[in-house]
Amino acid sequence: MLRSKLAPRGSLGPTAMLSSMALVEVASGATQQYLPPILPALGAQVGITTAQQNWIVVVQMAGCAVLTPVLSRLGDGFGYRRVLRVSIGMVVLGSLLMALRPTLGFLTIGALLQGGVVGFMPLMIGILRHQLGDAASRRGIGVLVGALLLAVGCAGIASGAVGAHDARSGLWIGVGAGVLGAAAGFLLPDAAAPPAAARSFDLRGFLLLTAGLVGVVLALAQGAAWGWTSAATLGCGLLGIAGLAGWWALELRVVRPLVDVRMFRNPRVAVLSVVTFCVAAATIGSIAFNATFLGASPHDVGYGTGLRAGAIGWALLPMTLSSVLTSALSPALLRACGERATVAAAGVATLIGFGGLVAVHDSLAAYLVASLFIGAALGLFESVTRTLTVEAVAKEETASAAGINELVLSLGAAVGAAVLGAALGAHTAADGRVGLGGYTTGWALCAVAGLAAAAVALRLRPATAAPPAGPEARPATPTHSAHPAKEH
């Protein structure tokens, strides 16, 4: 009897459904991480310069930023499973193009198509919440985040090992990951059919958001190369800001916007978004930053650990394992400690981890201890803010709310990486060597971001009702002061 009440409406039981979703997230993590370790060697093989390699990464970042709200909105309007399969198909096609034709043009197109990976999490959260309800989706989101983070850690090691022998062979890791995601995604059930009225698409909002995000991401990603005060950087930045301002004003006027910015009127969504931005800027934005510190030679520059590329992947693994553990424990922490304390803990762990690096950074052991706290913050915020954000809205807006969280996360990571890059640039000598002050300044900024996240988390208001326990229950809190359809 109990199983019949919990079983989803699809052909899979809860355990099998969650296992399939976890495999899709494994494919997501592998897709996001396999390319960076092999790009330098691939560039040497096929004649792609460092600047062109950076351009491929920039295109992928821009694609992710643009596609996050688009795929989420389409999922709410046309069905989560249908759009998820389209997203997986984009990733498979992009990975295949890159593996078959590793030229600059095809690598750029492939990286853009791989941006479809950002739809995996919000669309599956939509299925999960509709099939099992809020209480079970809390546990499920923790499992999905854990699978994602573990795959990210392992993919970097595997890609580096394969790419050390032949970088072109390493490109097929993305194809294998895409096929795995397609096979697992095919098994997933669907959620409730969305109403026909939800299928309208805000084209003007899409164009403005695309222009705004591309402008901002390009300015942040290329600022160090172009010069932060150059015409290109300032032009892209100002055009991006103008586009985002126009998009925000438009979204407040339309009945069914691409991204429902009215959700930020919900105090819970607003607080969780600020925490997501701050902790993502520190934890995700610092991954490459920390890797360069690990690779620095104490003999040459007076700091670092002198690890080679393969060893750096292993040195990052404890952080990954810590993040997997805290993401898995997040439902229990929410029950035992409460929402406010659990969300604040992500900021506190960020503060401790990066503050510890500022104080002690002269050994690999010190870095590994600090990385455990950074990983704990990463796992907590990735799981908890996603969970609480989607619980703050109506079920038919689940993917849109999850998409907002993903969008804020992506922007936080991009801003964090740019700020840390600027810190290194400010401490670079004429001979190109970076002083230790660049790293300590960057870590201090990350610690401040953690402190800010913890302070903002204290303003998180409790839900007006206990989270529903079943698939037919109503959401715990209202979406916002008024639904768009009722405002106009």
Domain-wise residue ranges, the chain: 14-192, 203-253, 263-488
428: three-class secondary structure by DSSP: strand
CA contacts within 13 A on the Cβ side of 100: 10
* 14-192 against 263-488: fold identical: yes
96 vs 200, higher pLDDT: 96
pLDDT of residue 467: 41
Kindly report the CATH number that applies to the domain delimited by 14-192: 1.20.1250.20
Q: Return the closest-CA partner of residue 126 out of 67, 65, 84, 177.
A: 84
Rounded CA-CA distance 186/204 in Å is: 32
Question: In the predicted model, what is the mean pLDDT of the chain?
Answer: 81
Give the model confidence (pLDDT) of 20-59 as tens digits. Answer: 999 999 999 898 878 877 776 787 788 877 557 667 776 7
Dihedral of CA 163/168/174/179: which sign? negative
Residue 254 vs residues 71, 124, 181, 261, 303: alpha-carbon distances, Å: 19, 27, 35, 11, 54
Spatial distance between the Cα atoms of 23 and 386, rounded to a whole number of angstroms: 19
The stretches of 101-202 forming alpha helices (DSSP H) are 104-114, 120-163, 167-170, 172-186
Tens-digit pLDDT profile for residues 346-394: 999 999 999 999 999 888 999 999 999 999 999 999 889 888 888 877 7
Residue 205 identity: G
Query: Quick one: pLDDT at residue 283?
Result: 92
Q: Model confidence over 273-297: pLDDT tens digits?
A: 999 999 999 998 887 788 778 878 8
Q: Would you state the CATH architecture of domain 263-488? A: Up-down Bundle (1.20)
3-state SS, one letter per residue, for 213-229: HHHHHHHHHHHHHHCCC
Enter the pTM of the model: 0.74
Distances in Å between the alpha carbon of 283 and those of 105, 167, 313?
Answer: 32, 28, 16
Residues 447-466, buried b or exposed e (16+ Cβ, 10 A)?
A: bbbbbbbbebbeebeebeee
Q: In this structure, what DSSP letter does residue 458 have? A: T
Query: Looking at residue 413, what is its pLDDT?
Result: 81
- Mean pLDDT over 62-68 rounds to 79
Structure confidence at residue 485 as a pLDDT band (50, 70, 90): very low
pLDDT tens digits for range 392-412 = 777 766 667 777 887 888 778
Band (pLDDT 50/70/90 cuts) for residue 221 is low
**Token pair of 65 as six digits:** 């930023």
Please report the pLDDT score of residue 63 as a whole number: 78
**pLDDT above 90 for 451:** yes
What's the pLDDT at 376? 94
DSSP string of 383-425, one letter each residue? HHHHHHHHHTS-GGGHHHHHHHHHHHHHHHHHHHHHHHHHHHH
Q: Which long-range contacts (CB under 8 A, 24 or more apart) does 264-267 make?
A: 265/480, 265/481, 266/392, 266/393, 266/477, 266/478, 266/479, 266/480, 267/459, 267/461
When pLDDT is averaged across residues 133-139 and rounded to a whole number, the result is 73
In 3D space, the residue among 439, 145, 443, 78 whose CA is nearest the CA of residue 293 turns out to be: 439
- Strands annotated E in 244-354: none
Alpha-carbon span 298 to 304, nearest angstrom: 5
Cβ burial, residue 129 (10 Å; 0-12/13-18/19+): buried
